[in-house]
Amino acid sequence: MKRVYGLLGWPVAHSASPAMMNAAFAELGIDAVYLAFAVPPANLQAALDGLLALGAGGVNITIPHKLGAYQWAPRHSDEARLAGAVNTLRLHPYSDGEDPEAADVMGHNTDVAGWWTSLRTALPRMPKRVVILGAGGAARAALAGLALYAPTAEVGLAARNLEKAAETAASFQEYISVNLVSWREREQAVAAADVVVNATPMGMWPQDDTSPIDDETCLHPGQVVQDMVYRPLETRLLQQAARRGAERVDGLDMLVRQGVEALEFWLGVSAPVEVMRQAARASLGL
């Protein structure tokens, strides 16, 4: 019987993950299927309990469930503990020699390494000043990545929910310098940054006419502007960055890199990176 894996989010219709992960299973000869599950926030625990009871192998977690999944998981990887968020859950081991009813529940965060790997290829040097827009699970993954790989960077954190931003910033003060930036002053902070990261859903389909930046003159040559959104691949923010001469990093490589990490976490085998990348691109019509 096929082992079930999947993605939990609200919404998930836009996701390229099923195409990417099912292509990987086929390439590896794994008898498994990856499905997208649209789960309202109030139903997250029930959905996870049900998948665990059904013997699912594992799931990825996306907006808005990463903090809820962290609270649900009984154990956490170092990356998940640092981020305070879970984007990947291993529920049961994938092995014919294991009892299929034996749970192995572990919360992990593959966004941390996936984010840094996707960003570092565009960096001419280690970042000195970084502005992160957003304070949810994606922002926490970026902060954790900076804490691990660029701990000397000065970070500005701006979000529309100031209380949430303050809570997020405080939880990382032990590891990295994080300064709280009010949403109305975000563009001033962006103008002084060498790396700008959009960790909000602004610009994501179906609201792809939005951007976290109103006045694009705060963007300039010499900056690296990364948008974690990958549908559409060319977000409004990245269009603004292009007009201002900034280096751009789209969200597709991060999607692929975190997916590679998740697959290897679940199965303990090397993931077919290029097969996954091509499947993700095809799903986006590229």
Neighbours of 136 (CB within 10 A): 20
* 266: DSSP letter: H
List strand residue ranges (DSSP E) for the chain, in order. 3-9, 32-38, 58-61, 88-90, 106-108, 129-133, 154-158, 177-181, 195-198, 224-227, 247-249
Q: Which of 2, 66, 128, 164 is catalytic?
A: 66
Per DSSP, the three-state class of 220 is: coil
CA 75, 25, 264, 113 torsion: positive or negative?
A: negative
Residue tagged 């963007």 (tokens): 219
User: Can 66 be counted among the known catalytic residues?
Assistant: yes
Do 41 and 65 touch, CB atoms closer than 8 A?
yes
Neighbours of 52 (CB within 10 A): 16
Structural tokens at position 227: 């948008």
Give the DSSP per-residue string, 228-260. ---SSSS-HHHHHHHHTT-EEE-SHHHHHHHHH
Per DSSP, the three-state class of 193 is: coil
Between CA 6 and CA 21 the distance in angstroms is 9
Between CA 112 and CA 16 the distance in angstroms is 19
Catalytic residues: 66
